[in-house]
């Protein structure tokens, strides 16, 4: 905080606690002194304290009552948590971004699934040749089964179009095509 040990030892912690936090600190310290027992770390009071230069720093304050020959004394430990708070803030921001991107991805996935079904349905396989009519009939037949389908043909003949048409007519049309 910029103070020397001599400037703080024996002084009330209220010396560095801003006025707006003083009530919280007084309540916390009264509770701690009234019930002197071991407590878990990082379970103290979080507030801001004043540095000697007037800057405020977020801290975690832990008080430990101590019985001495002069009576009960209190040892105050202040831990600067500014880095921790910065990291927590960055994590919250990253989580919000991840959730936003997840929602965006889900929306895009839904859009592309619908668009993909439209683009690759059997109605998009157009032609009048007997060979194409035969392929369309086979698509109708095989789409109703749970059988694996092997589609053969030369490069550029539309094997993927046929596979997508089979998928679009199958009972698994709402699931990914693998």
Q: Quick one: how far is CA 109 from the chain centroid?
A: 20
Residue 28 has pLDDT above 70, yes or no: yes
pLDDT digits (tens, 9 = 90+) for 64-87: 777 789 887 777 788 889 999 999
DSSP string, the chain: ----HHHHTTS-GGGTS-GGGHHHHHHHHHHHHHS-----TT-SEEEEEE-TTS-EEEEEEEEEEEEETTEEEEEEEEEE-HHHHHHHHHHHHHHHHHHHHHHHHHHHHHHHHHHHHHHHSGGG-----HHHHHHHHHHHHHHTS---------TTS-HHHHHHHHHHHSTTTTS---
Q: Look at residues 22, 145, 10 and name the one whose alpha carbon lies nearest to residue 166.
A: 145
* pTM value surpassing 0.75: no
Q: Give the per-residue pLDDT at 91.
A: 96
pLDDT digits (tens, 9 = 90+) for 57-68: 999 888 877 778
Higher-confidence residue of 119 and 65: namely 65
Q: How far apart are CA 157 and CA 139, in angstroms?
A: 15
| HSE of 50, CA atoms in CB hemisphere, 13 A | 14
Q: How far apart are CA 178 and CA 174, in angstroms?
A: 12
Across all residues in the chain, what is the average pLDDT?
A: 83
Q: Give the per-residue pLDDT at 123.
A: 65
Percentage of the residues of the chain whose pLDDT score is greater than 90: 26
Q: How far apart are CA 31 and CA 90, in angstroms?
A: 33
DSSP string, 26-58: HHHHHHHHHS-----TT-SEEEEEE-TTS-EEE
Q: Give the per-residue pLDDT at 38.
A: 60
């Amino acid at each position: 905080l910029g103070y020397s040990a001599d400037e703080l030892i024996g002084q009330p912690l209220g010396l560095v606690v801003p006025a707006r936090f003083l009530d919280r600190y007084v309540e916390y310290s009264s509770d701690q002194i009234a019930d002197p027992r071991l407590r878990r770390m990082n379970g103290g009071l979080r507030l801001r304290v004043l540095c000697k230069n007037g800057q405020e720093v977020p801290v975690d304050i832990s008080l430990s009552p101590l019985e001495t020959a002069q009576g009960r004394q209190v040892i105050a430990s202040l831990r600067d948590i500014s880095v921790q708070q910065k990291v927590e803030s960055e994590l919250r921001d990253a989580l919000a971004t991840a959730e936003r991107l997840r929602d965006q991805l889900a929306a895009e996935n839904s859009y592309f699934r619908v668009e993909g079904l439209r683009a690759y349905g059997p109605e998009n396989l157009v032609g009048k040749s007997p060979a194409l009519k035969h392929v369309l009939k086979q698509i109708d037949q095989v789409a109703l089964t749970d059988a694996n389908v092997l589609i053969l043909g030369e490069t550029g003949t539309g094997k993927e179009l046929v596979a997508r048409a089979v998928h679009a007519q199958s009972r698994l049309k709402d699931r990914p095509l693998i």
